Amino acid sequence: MSKNVKALAAMIAGGIAVGAFTFAGLQYFQSGNHKDATSGVAPALTPKSASRVVFPVGSPQLAELDVSEVMLSPLPLADSLPARIALDEDHTSRVMPPVAGRLVQVLAKPGDPVRAGQALAIVDAPEVGAALADAAKARSELGRKELAYTRAKTLFDGEVIAKRDFESAKADWEQASAEVNRSRLRLQNLRLDGGKASGERYALTSAIAGTVVDRQTNVGMEVRPDQPNPSFVVSDLRRLWIIIDTPESFLPHLTSGLSVTVEPVALPGKVFRGKITNISAMVDPGSRRVQARAEVDNVGGLLRPDMYARVDVLAPDTNPISNVPISALVSEGVKSFVFVRTAPGVFDKRDVVLKLQTRETAYVASGLQKGEAVVSKGALLLNSELAITTK
């Protein structure tokens, strides 16, 4: 009887132990903490390595990362240079009144497109009336003297009058012709020979086709040729100048004809292309910089005079090169690395060789291909995670 009780107790104890072990095993596998004994990683994840970081889908670390596509662009000679957009003076007209007078009508306002020869304002000027009267008087006198000369010539040919009388009539006719030419040149000088004047009023006209970019006049104002500011400024805004402030040290690399890219500060990511057309012969004593000038086409009319911009002077005869944001770089000693996303949640650390590094962009000579996705924000986070997981 005693032996049977002991055997029963031993069986009960063994069953309890087996049940406890089974329960613990189930808890272990249900918790998801088990790993495959052969690989050492969760079967659902890409295997890790010394240069790979893997995050499960939905991991909060992924929200801290930004990814950019590798782009190709021309290689600049150096870092971006500050610049200012200005009117193209070769396609700009500053309209000044030819004579003093009073403005009686304004026909154009800033922003208006105008044609060459279009009236911008009407000015009342007594000098215009005097010039027109002198021209009319000279023409009338010429007609009278011409008739007298023709009559004298006929009489002289018929030996009716003396040669002296004929020569006097001819001289009077020549003097009248000279006076007509003088009055005509006076009207040309006043820019009144195009039929834009009547009485004492004349039209202030634009010499070129373009857009009115500035107006310094109002009705009733007195205007004169020596006034400090032009009455109107008309410019063809399809072409603009880029005034580049160039350091002295950059001058050996700068030549006319080099291509440039222009990115306005107000339009990030919008790039315009042009060429350098002029380099100043003087150094600004205050800033110790030399002004270079480039010309660009104002595609879409997005550029405005006096905008600020960043200009890259491009190296001649170079093919486009891969570039990434400077924030994508991880430096370790003399080497540079980037993290490339090869699959969702999988980031490979890759060694790259830099051709040029500016304040905002790194130009990569080798190690990346166009279209690859690199981590532009959070690269240092990935590098720290990689250092922890590979210990």
Q: What's the confidence (pLDDT) of residue 8? A: 44
Region 278-289: what's the mean pLDDT? 90
Report residue 28's pLDDT band, with 50, 70 and 90 as the boundaries: very low
- Write out the residue limits of the CATH 1.10.287.470 domain(s) in the chain: 101-234
Calpha distance 248→251 (Å, rounded): 6
DSSP 232-268: EEEE-TTEEEEEEEEEGGGGGG--TT-EEEEEETTST
Query: Which DSSP string corresponds to 328-377?
Result: G-EEETTEEEEEEEEETTEEEEEEEEEEEE-SSEEEEEES--TT-EEEEE
b/e sequence 287-325, b meaning 16+ C-beta within 10 Å? eebbbbbbbbebeeeebebebebbbbbbbeeeeebbbbb
Residue 115: per-residue pLDDT: 95
Mean residue pLDDT across the chain: 82
The CATH 2.40.30.170 domain(s) of the chain lie at 81-88+238-313
Q: Answer whether residue 279 shows pLDDT above 90.
A: yes
Percent of the chain whose pLDDT exceeds 90: 33
Where are the domain boundaries for CATH 2.40.420.20 in the chain? 52-73+320-389
Please give the pLDDT value at position 164. 87
* Rg (the chain; Cα; Å): 43
pLDDT at res. 41: 39
Mean pLDDT of the 305-322 span: 88
CA angle 180, 183, 184 (to 5 degrees): 85
pTM for the model stands at 0.66
Instruction: Determine which of 177-186, 221-230, 303-312 has the lowest per-residue pLDDT on average.
Output: 177-186
Give the pLDDT score at 48: 55
Q: Do residues 120 and 105 make contact, with C-beta atoms less than 8 angstroms apart?
A: no
| DSSP code at position 87 | E
**Could you tell me the pLDDT band of residue 99, with boundaries at 50, 70 and 90?**
confident
Residues with Cβ within 8 Å of residue 219, at least 6 apart in sequence:
103, 104, 105, 106
Q: State the pLDDT confidence band at 232, using cuts at 50, 70 and 90.
A: very high
The pLDDT assigned to 198 comes to 63
pLDDT of 194 reads 56
Residue 84's pLDDT band, with cuts at 50, 70 and 90, is very high
What local confidence, expressed as pLDDT, does residue 193 receive?
58
What distance separates the 2 farthest-apart alpha carbons in the chain?
185
What number does CATH give the domain 101-234? 1.10.287.470
Q: What mean pLDDT do residues 93-102 have?
A: 90
Inter-CA distances, 14 with 6, 9, 21, 22, Å: 12, 9, 11, 12
pLDDT at 1: 42
The mean-pLDDT minimum among 4-18, 237-251, 318-332 falls in 4-18
Q: How far is CA 42 from the centre of its chain?
A: 52
Strand partners, 363: 323, 356
In tens, the pLDDT along 108-154 reads 999 999 999 899 999 988 887 777 888 888 888 889 888 988 888 88
Domain 81-88+238-313 is in which class? mainly beta
pLDDT digits (tens, 9 = 90+) for 345-389: 889 999 999 888 887 888 898 888 888 999 999 888 888 888 877
**Bigger pLDDT: 32 or 284?**
284
Which helix (H) or strand (E) segment is 199 a member of? Answer: none
Architecture of domain 52-73+320-389: Beta Barrel (2.40)
Count of beta carbons in the 10 Å neighbourhood of residue 264: 19
- pLDDT for 249-267, tens place per residue? 888 888 899 999 999 999 9
- Report the run of H or E that residue 109 belongs to, with start and end: none
Q: Is the pLDDT of residue 245 over 80?
A: yes
Q: Strand pairing partners for 356?
A: 363
The whole-number pLDDT of residue 209 equals 95
Beta strand spans in 48-168 (E)? 52-54, 66-69, 71-73, 81-87, 92-95, 101-106, 113-114, 119-124
pLDDT value, residue 49: 63
